[in-house]
């Protein structure tokens, strides 16, 4: 048992050391590429630190020796002059060190620190947006993202926080070497005293660090959920549901429960570290007492001069400070690196999907689902089984079926938000996994049911990634096609009007139908060869819906189109209809072939809806 624990501890230490090494090398390279001036800043500070401490050791001896000579009377004027000169140098050195410290620390901490903080936040955000969609629903990936964010901010201090500790450590090692030299020649027994004290300090500090790192693991997961609750409670877009379903109380209670757990975590951390901190204070006091007793004894026994006595006291203090700083610094840097390493791990987070490099051929495309089955990651049940379907170039396919039949899932598979579990999807006879992701995605313009508009301008929402080269005439044409033109004309700044009021008080709130039209306009602007509309008209009023269908040919043109709709009338506009039920395609054919099929699902659904409309009429 003990053996196993020792082995585990040794393994943990090795891992921790590796992480520290990797993090420091990464940070050094990043700093060198992005802001090499940081090295100049740390270099100047290192020189200042070393010089300052060397002077702290030497000055007492120089002063004491001169004072003693001055008091003995020989060449008193010369010694007085030297005393004044040393005092002046001491003042000058301290002033200069202060000024350099101020300028350099301000530069290093505020300016560079802030720069790197922003750089890392943007980098993490960019990578989060680029990561495989599947990861956005994977709690492990989301935790990794959160730990990368937290690990690179206040836990480690980010690039500046880690490098600051690293260069401090180098400075302390140089000072330590000087201190050891002085102590060895004057009061050598001080070395084992300092080392013993250091051993004790290291031991207790290490225990504290372990407690803090364990606490970080727990807190990071809780903080993510905490952020979710806060976001839900305050985000205006949830306002209606929260108020109408009186969920504020329920969410408040959940938040409080979580907050209690977070507070308990902090309390446990504080209780755990308290005893170790007391032990460290005790060790420091004991070390001081033994050291001063020893140096005092040497002076009283006249084994060292008064000047050496002062130097020894100063050297002992500097020696301990640097030992202390090195020991603390090593642990601190290891701790910081272990936090910051989360960022490196996030950068290397394994992709959920295979990445190909093949180019997509130009022109028209044939889509084929070959015996495709799929279940969502971490789910037990298949939502699609043995799907075999071919969509010819330019064909308009309508997919119908009850809620939960797997229609949207099929679209997600085709647009490669997920990879199939079994079987294959082929485009032009090639497995889609072989295509370059970027080129492949350009094939599609998709409007999902749960499309999102952003708090940007109307124009930006439509052109998105291509907004810098957006052709206004093209946007106007599309606005006309989707029936949005008149509405946009009425907005205070036309298509430059911001959507939502979150970031602009003059922003506009669009109706559900207008939002859906905007999403359709975005898809059309993309000019992709395959258009997929998932419930494109659900939020539209009957007239707008009719308009969209009437213009369907003009909107989609000769492109391949896939429609998912509950309105059976829309199927008439399509060449083929696939009816999804029981996790698979149960019927497939044209409207005419299916509409009167005896006992057919499509026939039943169509006639049910037709009857409803006729009854109303
Ligand atoms: P439809 O579009 O036909 O209404 P979906 O394709 O959205 O149906 O959903 C099919 C099934 O897959 C449903 O049972 C749904 O609960 C499940 N499902 C959808 N998205 C996910 C997901 N991200 N993770 C797990 N299951 C999901």
Q: What is the pLDDT of residues 303-335, one digit of tens each?
A: 888 888 888 888 888 887 888 788 888 888 999
Q: Which pLDDT value is given to residue 22?
A: 96
Ligand 1 centre to CA of 538 (Å) is 18
Atom of ligand 1 nearest to the CA of 405: 3
Q: Structure pTM?
A: 0.71
Ligand 1 centre to CA of 384 (Å) is 10
Residue 409 token pair: 């899932």
Q: Which pLDDT value is given to residue 169?
A: 93
From 398, 406, 566, the mutation candidate for ligand 1 (largest count of ligand atoms within 8 A of CB) is 406
Ligand 1 centre to CA of 514 (Å) is 26
Question: Domains of the chain (ranges plus CATH)?
Answer: 16-347 (1.20.1560.10), 367-448+530-540+561-610 (3.40.50.300)
Distances (CA, A) of 60 to 67, 289, 302, 313: 10, 21, 18, 9
Residue 282 token pair: 């005790």
Query: pLDDT tens digit string along 183-229?
Result: 888 888 888 988 898 889 888 988 888 888 888 888 877 887 777 77
- Stretch among 142-146, 229-233, 351-355, 411-415 having the lowest mean pLDDT: 229-233
Query: pLDDT tens digit string along 243-301?
Result: 777 777 777 888 888 889 889 989 988 998 999 999 999 998 998 889 888 888 888 88
Q: Which pLDDT value is given to residue 473?
A: 87
Ligand 1 centre to CA of 383 (Å) is 7
Closest C-alpha residue for ligand 1 atom 11 = 404
Q: Assess whether pLDDT exceeds 60 at residue 612.
A: no
In 442-558, the DSSP E strands lie at 444-447, 530-534
Q: Which pLDDT value is given to residue 449?
A: 83
Q: What band does 551 get if pLDDT is binned at 50, 70 and 90?
A: low
Q: Assess whether pLDDT exceeds 70 at residue 539.
A: no
Distance between CA 124 and CA 122 in Å, rounded?
6
CB-defined site of ligand 1, < 6 Å: 137, 376, 379, 383, 401, 403-409
Residue of 597 and 241 predicted with greater confidence: 597
Ligand 1 centre to CA of 586 (Å) is 18
H-run or E-run covering 591: helix 591-595
Closest C-alpha residue for ligand 1 atom 20 = 409
Distance between CA 168 and CA 149 in Å, rounded?
25
Q: Which pLDDT value is given to residue 406?
A: 93
Backbone angles phi, psi at 28, to 5 degrees: -60, -45
Q: Which pLDDT value is given to residue 94?
A: 85
Ligand 1 centre to CA of 236 (Å) is 26
- Stretch among 196-205, 229-238, 418-427 having the lowest mean pLDDT: 229-238
Q: Which pLDDT value is given to residue 104?
A: 80
Q: Assess whether pLDDT exceeds 60 at residue 58.
A: yes
β-strands 396-401, 560-564: how paired? parallel
Q: Assess whether pLDDT exceeds 80 at residue 616.
A: no
Distance between CA 183 and CA 188 in Å, rounded?
5
Q: Quote the percentage of the chain above a pLDDT of 70.
A: 94
Closest C-alpha residue for ligand 1 atom 27 = 376
Mean pLDDT rounded to a whole number for the chain = 86
β-strands 576-581, 396-401: how paired? parallel
Q: Assess whether pLDDT exceeds 90 at residue 423.
A: yes
Q: Which pLDDT value is given to residue 552?
A: 66
C-beta separation of 580 from 407 below 8 A: yes
Q: What is the mean pLDDT of residues 531-543?
A: 76
Q: Which pLDDT value is given to residue 617?
A: 38
Give the closest residue to 570 by CA, choosing from 536, 599, 600, 539. Answer: 536
Distance between CA 226 and CA 219 in Å, rounded?
10
Coil, helix or strand for 581? Answer: strand
């Amino acid at each position: 048992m003990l053996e196993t624990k020792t082995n585990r501890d040794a393994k943990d230490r090795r891992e921790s050391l590796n992480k520290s090494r990797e993090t420091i090398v990464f940070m050094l390279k990043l700093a060198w590429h992005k802001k090499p001036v940081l090295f100049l800043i740390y270099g100047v500070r290192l020189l200042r630190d070393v010089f300052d401490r060397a002077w702290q050791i030497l000055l007492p001896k120089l002063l004491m020796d001169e004072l003693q000579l001055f008091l003995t009377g020989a060449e008193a004027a010369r010694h007085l002059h030297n005393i004044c000169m040393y005092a002046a140098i001491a003042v000058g050195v301290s002033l200069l060190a202060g000024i350099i410290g101020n300028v350099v620390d301000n530069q290093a901490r505020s300016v560079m620190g802030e720069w790197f903080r922003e750089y890392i936040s943007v980098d993490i955000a960019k990578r989060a947006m680029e990561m495989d969609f599947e990861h956005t629903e994977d709690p492990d990936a989301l935790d990794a993202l959160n730990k990368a964010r937290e690990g690179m901010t206040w836990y480690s201090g980010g690039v500046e926080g880690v490098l600051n500790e690293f260069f401090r450590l180098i400075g302390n090692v140089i000072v330590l070497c000087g201190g050891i030299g002085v102590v060895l020649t004057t009061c050598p027994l001080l070395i084992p005293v300092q080392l013993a004290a250091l051993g004790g300090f290291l031991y207790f500090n290490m225990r504290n660090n372990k407690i803090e790192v364990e606490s970080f693991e727990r807190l990071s997961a809780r903080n993510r959920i905490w952020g979710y609750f806060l976001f839900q409670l305050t985000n205006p877009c949830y306002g209606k549901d929260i108020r109408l379903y009186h969920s504020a109380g329920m969410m408040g209670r959940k938040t409080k429960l979580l907050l209690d757990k977070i507070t308990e975590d902090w309390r446990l951390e504080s209780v755990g570290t308290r005893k170790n901190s007391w032990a460290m204070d005790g060790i420091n006091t004991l070390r001081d007492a033994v050291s001063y007793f020893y140096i005092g004894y040497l002076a009283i026994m006249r084994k060292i001069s008064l000047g050496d006595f002062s130097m020894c006291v100063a050297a002992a203090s500097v020696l301990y400070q640097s030992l202390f700083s090195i020991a603390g610094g090593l642990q601190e840097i290891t701790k910081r690196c272990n936090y910051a390493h989360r960022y490196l791990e996030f950068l290397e987070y394994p992709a959920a999907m295979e990445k190909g490099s093949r180019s997509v051929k130009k022109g028209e495309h044939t889509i084929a689902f070959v015996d495709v089955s799929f279940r969502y990651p971490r789910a037990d049940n298949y939502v699609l089984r043995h799907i075999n379907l071919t969509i010819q170039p330019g064909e308009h396919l309508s997919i119908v079926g009850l809620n939960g039949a797997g229609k949207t899932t099929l679209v997600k598979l085709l647009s490669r938000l997920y990879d199939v579990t079994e079987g294959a999807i082929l485009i032009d006879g090639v497995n889609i996994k072989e295509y370059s992701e970027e080129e492949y995605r350009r094939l599609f313009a998709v409007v999902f049911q749960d499309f999102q508009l952003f708090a940007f301008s109307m124009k930006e929402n439509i052109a998105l990634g291509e907004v810098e080269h957006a052709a206004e005439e093209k946007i106007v044409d599309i606005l006309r096609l989707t029936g949005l033109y008149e509405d946009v004309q009425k907005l205070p700044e036309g298509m430059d009007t911001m959507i939502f009021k979150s970031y602009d008080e003059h922003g506009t709130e669009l109706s559900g139908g207008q939002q859906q039209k905007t999403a359709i306009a975005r898809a059309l602007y993309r000019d992709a060869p395959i258009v997929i509309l998932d419930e494109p008209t659900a939020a539209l009023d009957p007239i707008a819906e009719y308009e969209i269908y009437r213009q369907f040919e003009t909107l989609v043109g000769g492109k391949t189109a896939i429609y998912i709709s509950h309105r059976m009338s829309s199927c008439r506009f399509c060449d083929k209809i696939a009816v999804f039920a029981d996790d698979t395609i149960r019927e497939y054919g044209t409207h005419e072939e299916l509409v009167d099929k005896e006992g057919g699902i499509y026939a039943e659904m169509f006639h049910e809806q037709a009857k409803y409309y006729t009854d109303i009429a």
